[in-house]
Amino acid sequence: MWAWGLAERAAAGLLGPAGVNGGRWSTAVAVGVTAAAGIALVAIVVSSRRGGIKSPWRRRRRKPALASKEWRSLFTLEGKFHDGGVKLLKRVRNGGIEPSIRAEVWPFLLGVYSLDSSEAEREVVKVQNRKGYLLLRKHCLRKNNEESKRSSETDGANHEELICSGKVKESVTPVGPDEPEKPSVEEHIMREEENSCVILKQEMQDETAQAILENQTDKNLCSSISRDVDESEKSDVTDAEASRNDVASVHQSSAEDEQESMPRYSNTGGNMELENELSKAARPVKSARTIEDFDTWQRIIRLDAVRANDEWVSYSPSQAEVSREKAIESAQAVCLKDYEHLESHRIHHASRLVAILEAYATYDPEIGYCQGMSDLLAPLLAVLEDDDEAFWCFAGFMRKARHNFRLDEVGIRRQLNMVSRIIKSKDFRLYRHLEMLEAADCFFVYRMVVVMFRRELTFDQTLSLWEVMWADQAASRAGIATSSWGKLRLAAPPTDDLLLYAIAASVLEKRKLIIESYSSMDEIIRDCNSMAGQLDIWKLLDDAHDLVVTLHDRIE
């Protein structure tokens, strides 16, 4: 409006009173045209910058991360959030979380605890989740026991066959004092149960004792009747045999009860669905194929666990200082092998990876285990020191990420297609060049999608990106996107696919190099795989935010 006022004043001064010659009129027209051109230029500049308005991510460097004192102030006396968690999610989206309280905040972001839960309700969930995790671990160790027995029977049969054929002489190698006998799988089970939850073990022992007592009472009754019919049959079963039969009966009953109550993945959401709450039709079908799959998953899990790096050490020094004795004990508890060459902290870390990944393969047998899942779990283990809590946070993480590991790759194709559409909508010239290179399907960002930038970012950058991404997803689950952020036109609405916008932003940042220098998709793949340590996480989030503001309504 100031430009129009200037034009009016100039025109009034130049025109003068009526009857003045037309020279002044010509000058007034020129000034008016110039003013109009200036207005048009201002409008163009404002319009062009509208899509590039500085987003809240740029303020991140001026805003500190969510600190302990502020975190405590978010709760009422009952342990509930004052506003249902809205402020928490906004703070995490804008500033991240201080490392010292990540272990407390993450369970809320990952859906382990509801945003409207009280402290008492969370304690109930914690106990339930702990018991569920221990049931999964018992099931895994039982499978280890069965596999060990099958291997022993196979080896024994092969050995006897060789002896009978005369190819090998039978020999017995004594166990000397320098070669202690390795503990059995049953001992591993007992050790892990003792280390994991003494209270739960005591409850199970009480149930076992009660079952034995009931079984013994029935046996005494049967024995009394049998004595009247035929006294001689009493000597056929010794006390030791009776005891073994009782224990076997109890163990069989315990295994059946465990199978009934073992938690399973459910796509309906929530913390966990117990199998006894599902219909029989929804329960996994037991088959030889399932057993073979689990055996395969176990072998791959152990290989990946032993090969896991230790970049987390500087972030979690308490876990890095584990003793050799404790590390070996944890390895034996999960039947880990071939770990002797590793340092103590890596043995302990590998053991935790095995325990939780095996439990997840049992919890979600449709997905089981695929390489890359250990990359997603490792950062969680550095923050969460209790295995049961780490497991349920990982299960919450995998609620979205599990689609990356489907054998049919439907989830991966959907995400790659979305990255492609973002690039096409934002930079059509780049998209056309990718089409010429037969790379418009964006397969070159496959690794970024599967392991969620884990190998392109440093350890701390990964934690920052993921917790912002989880805050977006938590806001979407809670319906906050439509109630709070929907009123803020310049703020990016929460999205379940912030990661994909970030991936597209990383590609768009290299548009000039891709268009001018690359002539094949292989060159782009090599460039993407060499990004490790070169990305600025907060600039990446800033660019991703701008894409969400601009394209969210068209893409999603």
Q: According to the model, what pLDDT value does residue 256 have?
A: 53
The average confidence (pLDDT) of the chain is 75
Does residue 459 sit in the same domain as residue 540?
A: yes
Give residues with Cβ within 8 angstroms of 126, minimum separation 6.
Answer: 389
Question: Looking at per-residue confidence, does 203 or 312 come out higher?
Answer: 312
212 inside domain: no
**What percentage of the chain has pLDDT greater than the value 70?**
62
User: Between vectors from CA 170 to CA 169 and to CA 171, what angle results, nearest 5°?
Assistant: 110
- Find the domain containing 319 and state its range: 294-397
Strands (E), 404-516: none
Does residue 360 sit in the same domain as residue 415?
A: no
Q: What is the pLDDT of residues 528-543, one digit of tens each?
A: 888 877 888 989 998 9
20 inside domain: no
CATH code for position 496: 1.10.472.80
Does residue 544 sit in the same domain as residue 428?
A: yes
Does residue 371 sit in the same domain as residue 445?
A: no
Q: According to the model, what pLDDT value does residue 229 have?
A: 38
pLDDT at 486 over 90: no
* Average confidence (pLDDT) over 337-363: 95
3-state helix, strand, coil in the chain (%, to 5): 70, 0, 30
pLDDT at 270 over 60: no
Does residue 531 sit in the same domain as residue 430?
A: yes
Does residue 441 sit in the same domain as residue 549?
A: yes
Final residue before a domain boundary, out of 367, 397, 427? 397
Q: Which of 355, 346, 352 is nearest to 311 (CA)?
A: 346
Question: Looking at per-residue confidence, does 46 or 466 come out higher?
Answer: 466
Final residue before a domain boundary, out of 397, 425, 458? 397
CATH code for position 338: 1.10.8
Does residue 336 sit in the same domain as residue 470?
A: no
- For residue 110, give Cα distances in angstroms to 327, 475, 537: 29, 11, 21
pLDDT band of residue 452 (cuts 50, 70, 90) is very high
Give me the half-sphere count of Cα atoms (radius 13 Å) on the Cβ side of residue 345.
15
Q: According to the model, what pLDDT value does residue 146 have?
A: 77
Does residue 329 sit in the same domain as residue 453?
A: no
* Average confidence (pLDDT) over 489-506: 86
pLDDT at 363 over 80: yes
Q: According to the model, what pLDDT value does residue 30 have?
A: 54
- Spatial separation of the C-alpha atoms in residues 388 and 400, rounded to whole Å: 20
Q: What is the pLDDT of residues 245-257, one digit of tens each?
A: 443 443 444 555 5
58 inside domain: no
Does residue 414 sit in the same domain as residue 532?
A: yes
Q: Mark 475-513 as b/e (b = at least 16 C-beta within 10 Å).
A: bbbbebbeebbeeeeebbbbbebbbbbbbbbbbbbbbee
Largest CA distance in the chain: 143
Q: Which helix (H) or strand (E) holds 461?
A: helix 459-477
Q: According to the model, what pLDDT value does residue 39 have?
A: 54
* Average confidence (pLDDT) over 385-412: 95
Number of domains forming the structure of the chain = 3
Q: What is the pLDDT of residues 170-188, one digit of tens each?
A: 443 333 444 344 444 445 5
Question: Looking at per-residue confidence, does 499 or 94 come out higher?
Answer: 499
- Spatial separation of the C-alpha atoms in residues 400 and 268, rounded to whole Å: 12
- Spatial separation of the C-alpha atoms in residues 413 and 410, rounded to whole Å: 5
Highest mean pLDDT among 90-94, 186-190, 244-248, 444-448: 444-448
pLDDT band of residue 158 (cuts 50, 70, 90) is low
Does residue 488 sit in the same domain as residue 393?
A: no
Q: Per the structure block, which two tokens stand in for 212? A: 């034995």
* Average confidence (pLDDT) over 351-364: 96
242 inside domain: no
146 burial (CB, 10 Å; 0-12 / 13-18 / 19+) is: middle
Question: Looking at per-residue confidence, does 356 or 163 come out higher?
Answer: 356
Residue showing tokens 């220098």: 517
Q: What residue type is assigned to position 458 of the chain?
A: T
224 inside domain: no
Does residue 369 sit in the same domain as residue 425?
A: no
153 inside domain: no
* Average confidence (pLDDT) over 521-532: 89
SS3 for 315? coil
- Spatial separation of the C-alpha atoms in residues 218 and 210, rounded to whole Å: 12
Final residue before a domain boundary, out of 344, 368, 397? 397
469 inside domain: yes
Question: Looking at per-residue confidence, does 476 or 11 come out higher?
Answer: 476
pLDDT at 117 over 60: yes
pLDDT band of residue 197 (cuts 50, 70, 90) is very low
Q: According to the model, what pLDDT value does residue 533 have?
A: 77
Does residue 393 sit in the same domain as residue 416?
A: no
pLDDT at 190 over 80: no
